[in-house]
Chains A and B, each alone.
Chain A
Amino acid sequence: MTITLSMDGKEIRADEGKTLLEAARESGVDIPTICFHEATTANALCRICVVEVEGQRVLQPACIVKAAGNMKVQTRSEKVIRARRTILEMLASSMDLSEAPEIQQMMKEYGADTGRFPDAQRRESEVKDDNPMFIRDYSKCLLCWRCVQVCADDAQYTFAINFDGRGYETQIGTFFDKAIPETSCVMCGQCVGVCPTGALKPKREYLLEQGLSAGEISVMNTGRKQRKAK
């Protein structure tokens, strides 16, 4: 069944059951997203997609709220813009966004001030380089949950990683903080494929960034004896 709702003062139509985000995109209305990914279940974690719905006390995350008939939605109201800008400023104050060009672009668009929270404690951690396939640099992690989701029942059903810690200490981790090869991880790299900020990265790309040449990378890991001398 098709329903009709108002978005930014314009009448739009959507199939029943669609989220506000889907309804908006189908009608050509742009709502920004960060944690949302078409291949994962929407979780409304980052809140950058919030919109103002008439009659609702607080802003609503468009990625999970279903469109309903006669809804009146503002996707660019002052309240919405301010919320988005603040979210971006808080992200910038606590994590490394240097490899998230889409978020940097959003910061420009929303006029976000990277220095708004100068005393914020940054979430920093060492690069975890514990397997030959990919590295994990959680200083760049914004906890979008995509990697956890694709490792679980959004794709791989492997359940090797999950949230670790609570509140501000939350980080993505393996169980008992084991090294990747010792976990149930199958190293499919689905997590690397959905990471929006470069926190997860193929090892070879990382080594190239560290200044190693293609030749130097190619002779790594080739030392194992493969055949006992006959």
Chain B
Amino acid sequence: MIKADRVVTSICPYCGVGCTLQLHVKDDFIFKVTTPFDSPVNHGNLCVKGRFGYDYIYHPKRVTTPLIRKTKQEAGKRTQAFDLSEWREVSWVEALDYVADRLVEIYKRDGSDAMAVYCCAKATNEDNYLLQKMYRALFRTNNVDHCTRLCHAGSVVALQQAVGSSAMSNTASQVVLNDVFIVTGSNTSENHPIIALQMKEAVQKHSAKMIVVDPRRIDLVDMAEMWLPLKPGTNVPVFSAMAHVIVKENLVNHEFIADRTEGYQEFVESLEKFTPEYAEELSGVPADDIRKAARLYANAKNGAIYWGMGISQLSHGTASALALIHLAFLTGHIGRDGTGLNPLRGQNNVQGASDMGAMPFHYPGYMRVDDPAHRAKWEKTWNIEAGGLSLKLGLTTTEILGHAHEGGIRALYIMGENPMMSEPNLNETRKHMGQLEFLVAQDIFINESGAFADVFLPATPFAEKDGTFSNTDRRVQRVRVAQPPRGKSRPDWQIICDLALRIESRLGVATSKWDYANPEEVLREMGGVNSDYAGITYDRIDKVGLIYPVPDLTHPGTPTLFKESFPRGRGKFHILDYVPVREQADDEYPFILTTGRLLEHWHGGSMTRNSALNEIYPEARVEMHPADAEIHGIRDGDAVKVQSRRGEIVVRATVTEKTTVGVVFLPWHFAEAAANLLTNDALDPQALIPEFKACAVQVFPARESDLPNPENVLVRGRY
């Protein structure tokens, strides 16, 4: 038996559930992870990533020394350097001086609009707060964004418009209080495994009825009361038809509508056209199933809706989320325990990074940057002259790269993100990356994006830094150092503060304060302005996290939002139209490709592809329905080429009824067969989120030798 030197309690760095981890450390090596059975979020349960997927920390490819490219990179001729031989190991002083020199040079020459930064939903609240502060306070730009743009931007905008807040309204552990709940656009078992357990428990032990609305026959369908297999991108007609039924059959909660909402009459008129038959024509879901689902949800005592990227990652992602919000308004299934509108957030700290203002339109606490009153508060906090901060809305993630050209964005700072995997239409992204004049990567591995960089700053993973993560249900929890930083790597917050001081001295400006003794001081500074976090101290969340809003030091936290009213006052109905996905299947590209994640992998793969997790799921597979496969002469395990108008990849096929006829599915974690080479960069007009969930593709038989790594063969019996 190995006796641990210490057992450190921290929070899982993978998904938004925010499970408690106990890291068992021996000689600065984590050899085991357990979790307490009384943990409020996960009740002693973990998934494969949380329990076993931390070994990337020790992977030999992890970079732990600052690096500068040997060959000076120029705009237009920028190349990728994965191999360490193309980099020079340097000291921190040299690396940070070089970054400060180059950033200040470009800023002085081209101004604020040339500067941009990607914050990171994997990093802590403190890291993100500091990085957005650095760009806003020193470079006076709001070109600050992170991957939230690529995941729930549609949901965030919809919720902001309709209720005035953008997080989950209820906690995930309230699933067991639902008696009917809708899961849509979320393969919860793979993407939020612990919430899926609670959903299964609700069905099996508390007799709840689950309605799954998804183009794929996901694992949860096994326990669902109903499965509505809609065609990708037909959310608006399906959910509006449910609203139509609720209104026509008078299942409406009139009291709630009268007291808490506005725009009902106009909305009801706009529903006329959304008959279940019309929705059936567009979505393929039988009209009677839509009626039955509407009745089930409307007649529930406690109804709730949980959704994922299948709602938001569409060129009408905002409208899709609004269609869901309407259902909650019509029935009053919001503002009570066991009800609610619950977008399941992807990353461990995507909620927190958004709360910290790592977004182009908002300061921390969702304060609009174009509101001078908000600006004044941050100018005071950051010791900046009145009127010094920019009122101009910044560019979003996808726009930042789209503007990488002469006269646009010249310098980009990437903390932890990997746009070369996560952006749609990667061939375009590649061109944009090449156009940058200066690129900094602050990460733990040289990933597909960092390989383009001029400078690599080695940061630390979650187990080597202190801070906080805010999970999907707004619970702010402590992340703790389990082992010292490996090599010369440093926690992100320290790197940022050191760099900011260097930039300030080159700019010759008064300091905005960067000499924090510890991350808690950072959180307290932010909480001094952002009232949601005002009552959160490290002491108070030492054992159990607090669910914000926590407006003062004695406030117990707020598990259920909107009990009395919505932040915008009344909930607002919006009039929706059906907008088809931008690219429809046709003779040339007869399948609709939808993308998503796998249980064993994480996003761009920086972590999980450098882990034993890669052993249990080593290759991308395209899922195809048996009927489609037969027509195209494709058998299970055959190599196939998947081609869209933008790119092509070669992968093996999995022939399975998990997907529906006409729809193929690809996970997007695999650089050697990157699904995002195929996806469409069409954007939602309001949220500017790309349409990852639907594009037209063709699938051809290919040769085994065309596979990028034919020797990697997936052997898995799981769902």
Residues of A within 8 A of B (CB): 38-39, 98-99, 101, 131-134, 150, 153, 155-158, 178, 181-190, 192-193, 198, 202-205, 208-209, 214, 217-222, 224-228
* A226-B615 contact given A186-B599, A209-B2, A214-B58, CB 8 Å threshold: no
List B residues 671-685 near A (Cβ within 8 Å): 671-672
* A228-B672 contact given A186-B599, A198-B1, CB 8 Å threshold: yes
Q: A67 CA to B51 CA in the complex, in Å?
A: 38
Q: B718 contacts A185, CB within 8 Å?
A: yes
Residues in B neighbouring A150, C-beta threshold 8 A: 45
List B residues 18-43 near A (Cβ within 8 Å): 24, 26-29, 31-35, 37, 43
List 15 A-B residue pairs with CB atoms under 8 Å apart, sorted by A's residue number.
A132-B52, A153-B205, A155-B44, A157-B204, A181-B616, A188-B45, A198-B1, A202-B31, A205-B31, A208-B26, A214-B29, A224-B709, A226-B609, A226-B614, A228-B708
Q: B55 contacts A225, CB within 8 Å?
A: no
A151 to chain B, nearest CB (A): 11
B553 at the interface (CB under 8 A from A): no
B207 at the interface (CB under 8 A from A): no
Q: A131 contacts B31, CB within 8 Å?
A: no
B7 at the interface (CB under 8 A from A): no
Q: Mark B142-170, 1 if CB is under 8 A from A, else 0.
A: 00000000000000000000000000000
B47 at the interface (CB under 8 A from A): yes
Q: B59 contacts A222, CB within 8 Å?
A: yes
B59 to chain A, nearest CB (A): 6
Q: A178 CA to B718 CA in the complex, in Å?
A: 13
| Closest chain B residue to A186, Cβ basis | B718
Residues in B neighbouring A205, C-beta threshold 8 A: 2, 24, 31-32
A169 to chain B, nearest CB (A): 25
List B residues 704-719 near A (Cβ within 8 Å): 708-709, 711-712, 715-719
Q: B717 contacts A224, CB within 8 Å?
A: no
Residues in A neighbouring B614, C-beta threshold 8 A: 221, 224, 226
Q: A156 contacts B60, CB within 8 Å?
A: no
* A226-B46 contact given A202-B31, A218-B58, A218-B59, CB 8 Å threshold: no
The one of B43, B46, B200, B716 that contacts A188, using a Cβ cutoff of 8 Å: B46
Residues in A neighbouring B29, C-beta threshold 8 A: 208, 214, 217
* A221-B671 contact given A156-B45, A188-B45, CB 8 Å threshold: no
* A226-B60 contact given A190-B45, A193-B46, A218-B55, CB 8 Å threshold: no
B612 at the interface (CB under 8 A from A): yes
Residues in B neighbouring A209, C-beta threshold 8 A: 1-2
B566 at the interface (CB under 8 A from A): no
Residues in A neighbouring B711, C-beta threshold 8 A: 225
A32 to chain B, nearest CB (A): 19
Q: A143 CA to B618 CA in the complex, in Å?
A: 34
B83 to chain A, nearest CB (A): 11
Assuming A187-B48, A187-B52, what are 15 further A-B pairs, CB within 8 angstroms? A38-B37, A98-B1, A132-B52, A133-B612, A133-B616, A157-B204, A181-B717, A186-B599, A188-B193, A190-B45, A202-B31, A209-B1, A218-B58, A222-B610, A227-B672
Q: B60 contacts A222, CB within 8 Å?
A: yes
Q: A189 contacts B672, CB within 8 Å?
A: no
B82 at the interface (CB under 8 A from A): yes
B666 to chain A, nearest CB (A): 17
Residues in B neighbouring A99, C-beta threshold 8 A: 1
Most buried by B among A98, A133, A187: A187
B406 to chain A, nearest CB (A): 27
B199 to chain A, nearest CB (A): 10
Q: A23 CA to B572 CA in the complex, in Å?
A: 52
Q: A193 contacts B51, CB within 8 Å?
A: yes
A195 to chain B, nearest CB (A): 11
Q: B616 contacts A204, CB within 8 Å?
A: no
Residues in B neighbouring A221, C-beta threshold 8 A: 612, 614-615
B197 at the interface (CB under 8 A from A): yes
| Closest chain B residue to A98, Cβ basis | B1
Residues in B neighbouring A134, C-beta threshold 8 A: 52
Q: A228 CA to B707 CA in the complex, in Å?
A: 9
Most buried by B among A155, A186, A209: A186
Q: A217 CA to B34 CA in the complex, in Å?
A: 19
| Closest chain B residue to A156, Cβ basis | B197
Q: B718 contacts A204, CB within 8 Å?
A: no
Q: A155 CA to B28 CA in the complex, in Å?
A: 32
Residues in B neighbouring A219, C-beta threshold 8 A: 60
Q: A208 CA to B45 CA in the complex, in Å?
A: 24
Q: B44 contacts A39, CB within 8 Å?
A: yes
List B residues 616-649 near A (Cβ within 8 Å): 616, 618
B640 to chain A, nearest CB (A): 17
Q: B599 contacts A224, CB within 8 Å?
A: no
Q: A183 contacts B717, CB within 8 Å?
A: yes
Q: A209 CA to B616 CA in the complex, in Å?
A: 23
B77 at the interface (CB under 8 A from A): no
Q: A132 contacts B45, CB within 8 Å?
A: no
* A184-B671 contact given A39-B43, A39-B44, A209-B1, CB 8 Å threshold: no
Q: A215 CA to B440 CA in the complex, in Å?
A: 30
B61 at the interface (CB under 8 A from A): yes
Q: A123 CA to B573 CA in the complex, in Å?
A: 67
A185 to chain B, nearest CB (A): 7
Residues in A neighbouring B45, C-beta threshold 8 A: 150, 155-156, 188, 190, 193
Q: A209 CA to B612 CA in the complex, in Å?
A: 19
B352 to chain A, nearest CB (A): 25
Q: B52 contacts A202, CB within 8 Å?
A: yes
Q: A203 CA to B643 CA in the complex, in Å?
A: 40
Q: Mark B333-357, 1 if CB is under 8 A from A, else 0.
A: 0000000000000000000000000
Q: A220 CA to B55 CA in the complex, in Å?
A: 10
The one of B26, B52, B599, B712 that contacts A133, using a Cβ cutoff of 8 Å: B52
* A184-B197 contact given A222-B61, A225-B709, CB 8 Å threshold: no
| Closest chain B residue to A187, Cβ basis | B48
| Closest chain B residue to A183, Cβ basis | B717
The one of A155, A185, A228 that contacts B717, using a Cβ cutoff of 8 Å: A185
B33 to chain A, nearest CB (A): 7
Residues in B neighbouring A186, C-beta threshold 8 A: 47-48, 193, 599, 718-719
Q: A133 CA to B599 CA in the complex, in Å?
A: 14
Residues in A neighbouring B193, C-beta threshold 8 A: 186, 188
Residues in A neighbouring B717, C-beta threshold 8 A: 178, 181-185
Q: A218 CA to B34 CA in the complex, in Å?
A: 20
Q: A187 CA to B608 CA in the complex, in Å?
A: 14
Q: A183 CA to B616 CA in the complex, in Å?
A: 12
Q: A188 CA to B205 CA in the complex, in Å?
A: 21
Q: A188 contacts B51, CB within 8 Å?
A: yes
| Closest chain B residue to A198, Cβ basis | B1
Residues in B neighbouring A153, C-beta threshold 8 A: 204-205
| Closest chain A residue to B24, Cβ basis | A205
Q: B34 contacts A193, CB within 8 Å?
A: yes
Q: A39 CA to B42 CA in the complex, in Å?
A: 12
B493 to chain A, nearest CB (A): 26
Q: A157 contacts B200, CB within 8 Å?
A: yes
Residues in B neighbouring A182, C-beta threshold 8 A: 715-717
Most buried by B among A155, A182, A189, A208: A189
A65 to chain B, nearest CB (A): 22
5 nearest A-B pairs in the assembled complex, by CB-CB distance: A218-B58, A214-B29, A132-B612, A189-B51, A187-B48
A35 to chain B, nearest CB (A): 16
B89 to chain A, nearest CB (A): 20
| Closest chain B residue to A225, Cβ basis | B709
| Closest chain A residue to B448, Cβ basis | A227
Residues in B neighbouring A131, C-beta threshold 8 A: 616
| Closest chain A residue to B44, Cβ basis | A39
* A192-B51 contact given A99-B1, A204-B31, A226-B672, CB 8 Å threshold: yes
Q: B671 contacts A157, CB within 8 Å?
A: no
Q: B61 contacts A224, CB within 8 Å?
A: no
A40 to chain B, nearest CB (A): 10
